[in-house]
């Protein structure tokens, strides 16, 4: 038995996936029928080995065929080879037809088994493309149990379809045959017994010799860093040596570029990212160039790093390396999966036990357990709205102050705080009796100065005329000032507003100094919300967040607002430290008044329910433990 848990292959030469006759027919390139039949037999054997770990007790490949473009008109696709008795299932034919229409891989997972009906098989169809020209299609029908490995089977079939280039494009026969032989030989070696490191060691040694590379290395991992599995220059040491560190750094750097994207040093044209790790790798190992590529299998990443001397490889060679890594990465991933640690095996066994217990338990117990598990999973993984609740006060967006224009007495007050006024409405009047007396006095002085000026002009006293004219101008200026104060004695609203403060009616007749505040006005329909956010929730608030407000005087209505400003200054309120957050109401209403209070809730994003319900208690516990320690 192999270490992967695969059944032992057939006897004799079939351990290498096929007999010598099929290989000879594949290399002969005599005609499309013999070539397709040989290729179909070899690919079926490869898929059988890949799916042998499923232990289904039946053939993994239920049917398959190859269809190539006809030689007559070039518009029809003719079947050149098939397995079984030649009959093709309807689902497989539809998958092939859809592949020809879309010009890309098609995968159809079979349905699960139901009462009275067996599980439906899976289908994969891969187009045969030569220089972006559709030349045919290959299709396989697999057992229903192959659904978990359907993507891997599709990739293996896509890689194997490159063999048709040797048949359909003779000028590339030598290069195609060389790469295909190398890949097939490496896949045969990968089927040998041994662990993942031994398989990677054999693959790296073979690839280094056939490609003429200085060194070929493989690595794998889940997280941010990859671990080196094997290298063509001997076994990997257990301790982290300088050799392993620079090699792992180069693989990590390739992982940062993305899957299946080669990273090369020296930097080729079009590569616009840092290659510091590959440069250090070349200096440390005495190589002229280094290339790495990463392939992702589920959550696992498998990397291949190739080092060489001489000129850097061309883009076609890099693409060929990436293609080889795509084929070998699933095989290495399968070996690593078979070498799981004891805890991971234990988790898998626990999962199987759980499923068995649930299937044999009474219906009511099964329903109760599943409901409890579903509720627990919902609480742990489901997300809800995280809202910061805080006390809020409605304030006017702008305040306008009306002050006394001169020293005097308040004669009449026409409005009170809370009144709504229109622009130009009289709000209050100041006593103007003293001003009227001053105006009469200045008019008398003006008339007297005019008489003096006329008398001096009659006596031809030009100096007296100038003095009298100056006195008349002074009297006119003082009269204009008094008349202006009389006009300003009536205080009027500068805009539509609401009176938010002002003395009561009992202050009529009280003396006023110039600049004393008589009224404070706030424009209508322009309000802001002042929110006192607790210090524990202050970090979760930011400008631009939205929220809702409910006022104590209008509890049946909800008002939307947007956070505009956060004041990072703390203040004490009812025994708590709070920060002031200012927000703008998205809509206003005639019922709103400055000074209304209520509760505001700020939308601070989404979080898991278990955190929403426990974060306050956990934060309190952390502080208490910290203080105690």
Residues 6+ apart with CB under 8 A from 402: 427, 428, 491, 517, 518, 519, 520, 521
**pLDDT band at 99, cuts 50/70/90?**
very high
Exposure string over 180-212, b if 16+ CB within 10 A, otherwise e: bebbbebbbbbbeebebbbbbbbbbbbbbebbe
Stretch 169-177: mean pLDDT = 53
> Span 526-628: which CATH code?
2.40.30.170
| Rounded-to-integer distance, Cα 83 and Cα 92, Å | 13
Q: Which residues pair with 511 in a beta bridge?
A: 409
Residues 6+ apart with CB under 8 A from 470: none
| Rounded-to-integer distance, Cα 287 and Cα 311, Å | 11
Domain 526-628 in the same topology as domain 194-339 = no
- Residue 382: name the closest of 614, 608, 612 by CA: 608
SS3 call for 577:
strand
Structure tokens at 235: 């076994």
Whether residue 172 is predicted with pLDDT greater than 70 in this model: the reply is no
Please give the biggest Cα pair distance in the chain: 150
* Domain 194-339 belongs in CATH node 3.30.450.40: yes
Whether residue 16 is predicted with pLDDT greater than 50 in this model: the reply is no
Using the Cα atoms of residue 278, residue 180, residue 105 and residue 59 in order, give the sign of their dihedral. negative
**pTM of the shown model:** 0.35
Fold assignment, 1-170: Beta-Lactamase (3.30.450)
What would the pLDDT profile of 332-375 be if each residue is shown by its tens digit? 888 887 777 788 778 767 876 776 766 676 777 777 877 888 88
Whether residue 421 is predicted with pLDDT greater than 90 in this model: the reply is no
Stretch 191-198: mean pLDDT = 74
Q: What is the pLDDT of residue 137?
A: 92
Q: E-assigned strands of 434-526? A: 490-492, 497-502, 511-512, 517-523
Q: What is the pLDDT of residue 140?
A: 92
CB atoms within 10 A of CB 74: 9
User: Among 183-192, 221-230, 240-249, 285-294, which stretch is predicted with the lowest mean pLDDT?
Assistant: 183-192
- Residue 128: name the closest of 172, 164, 173 by CA: 164
- Residue 326: name the closest of 296, 361, 359 by CA: 296
Q: What is the pLDDT of residue 11?
A: 39
SS3 call for 111:
coil
**């794998």: which residue's tokens?**
220
What would the pLDDT profile of 516-559 be if each residue is shown by its tens digit? 777 777 776 677 888 888 888 888 888 888 899 999 888 888 88
The alpha carbon torsion through 480, 483, 487, 488 (nearest 10 deg) reads 70
For residue 391, the surrounding DSSP H or E stretch is strand 383-396
User: Among 154-168, 257-271, 452-466, 489-503, which stretch is predicted with the lowest mean pLDDT?
Assistant: 489-503
Q: E-assigned strands of 574-618? A: 576-585, 597-608
Domain layout of the chain by residue ranges: 1-170, 194-339, 432-488, 526-628
**pLDDT band at 296, cuts 50/70/90?**
confident
- Spell out the alpha helix ranges (H) of 258-400: 276-285, 315-338, 342-360, 363-381
Q: Do 10 and 26 touch, CB atoms closer than 8 A? A: no
Going by the DSSP 8-state scheme, the letter that residue 4 receives in this structure is T
Q: CA 453 → CA 447, 450, 482, 558, distances in Å?
A: 10, 5, 24, 75
């Amino acid at each position: 038995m192999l270490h992967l848990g695969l059944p032992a292959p057939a006897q004799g030469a079939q351990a290498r996936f096929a007999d010598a006759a099929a290989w000879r027919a594949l290399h002969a390139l005599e005609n499309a029928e013999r070539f397709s039949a040989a290729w179909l037999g070899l690919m079926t054997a490869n898929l059988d080995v890949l799916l042998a770990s499923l232990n289904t007790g039946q053939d993994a490949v239920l049917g398959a065929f190859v269809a190539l473009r006809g030689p007559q008109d070039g518009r029809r696709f003719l079947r050149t080879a098939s397995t079984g008795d030649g009959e093709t299932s309807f689902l497989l034919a539809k998958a092939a037809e859809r592949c020809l229409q879309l010009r890309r891989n098609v995968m159809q997972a079979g349905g699960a088994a139901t009462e009275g009906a067996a599980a439906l098989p899976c289908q994969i169809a891969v187009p045969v493309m030569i220089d972006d020209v559709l030349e045919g299609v290959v299709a396989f029908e697999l057992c229903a149990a192959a659904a978990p490995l359907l993507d891997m089977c599709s990739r293996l079939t896509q890689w194997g379809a490159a063999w048709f280039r040797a048949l359909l494009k003779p000028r590339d026969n030598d290069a195609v045959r060389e790469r295909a032989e190398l890949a097939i030989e490496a896949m045969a070696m990968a089927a040998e017994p041994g662990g993942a490191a031994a398989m990677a060691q054999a693959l790296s040694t073979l690839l280094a010799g056939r490609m003429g590379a200085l060194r070929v290395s493989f690595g794998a991992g889940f997280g941010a860093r990859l671990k080196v599995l094997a290298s063509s220059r001997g076994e990997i040491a257990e301790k982290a040596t300088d050799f392993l560190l620079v090699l792992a750094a180069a693989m990590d750097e390739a992982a940062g570029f993305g899957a299946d994207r080669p990273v090369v040093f020296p930097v080729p044209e079009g590569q616009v990212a840092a290659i510091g790790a590959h440069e250090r790798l070349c200096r440390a190992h005495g190589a002229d160039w280094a290339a790495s590529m990463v392939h992702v299998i589920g959550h696992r990443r498998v990397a291949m790093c190739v080092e060489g001397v001489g000129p850097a490889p061309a883009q076609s060679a890099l693409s060929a390396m990436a293609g080889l890594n795509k084929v070998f990465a699933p095989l290495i991933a399968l070996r690593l999966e078979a070498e799981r640690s004891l805890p991971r095996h234990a988790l898998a066994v626990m999962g199987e036990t759980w499923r068995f217990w649930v299937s044999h338990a009474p219906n009511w117990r099964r329903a109760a357990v599943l409901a409890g598990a579903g509720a627990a999973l919902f609480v742990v993984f489901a997300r809800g709205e995280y809202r910061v609740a805080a006390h809020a006060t409605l304030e006017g967006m702008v305040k306008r102050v009306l002050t006394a224009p001169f020293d005097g007495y308040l004669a009449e007050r026409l409005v009170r705080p809370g009144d709504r006024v229109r622009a130009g409405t009289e709000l209050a009047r100041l006593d103007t009796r003293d001003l009227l007396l001053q105006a009469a006095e200045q008019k008398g002085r003006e008339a007297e100065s005019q008489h003096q000026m006329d008398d001096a002009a009659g006596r031809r006293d030009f100096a007296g005329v100038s003095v009298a004219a100056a006195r008349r101008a002074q009297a006119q200026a003082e009269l204009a000032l008094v008349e202006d104060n009389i006009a300003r004695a009536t205080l009027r609203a500068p805009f539509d507003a609401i009176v938010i403060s002002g003395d009561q009616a009992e202050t009529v007749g009280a003396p006023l100094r110039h600049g004393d505040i008589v009224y404070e006005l706030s424009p209508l329909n322009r309000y802001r919300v002042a929110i006192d956010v607790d210090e524990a929730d202050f970090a979760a608030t930011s400008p631009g967040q939205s929220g809702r407000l409910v006022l104590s005087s209008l509890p049946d209505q909800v008002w939307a607002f947007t956070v505009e400003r956060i004041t990072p200054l703390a203040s004490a309120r009812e025994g708590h430290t709070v920060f002031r957050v200012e927000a703008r109401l998205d809509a206003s209403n005639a019922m709103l008044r400055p000074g209304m209070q209520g509760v505001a809730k700020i939308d601070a994003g989404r979080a898991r329910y278990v955190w929403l319900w426990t974060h306050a208690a956990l934060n309190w516990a952390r502080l208490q433990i910290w203080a105690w320690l």
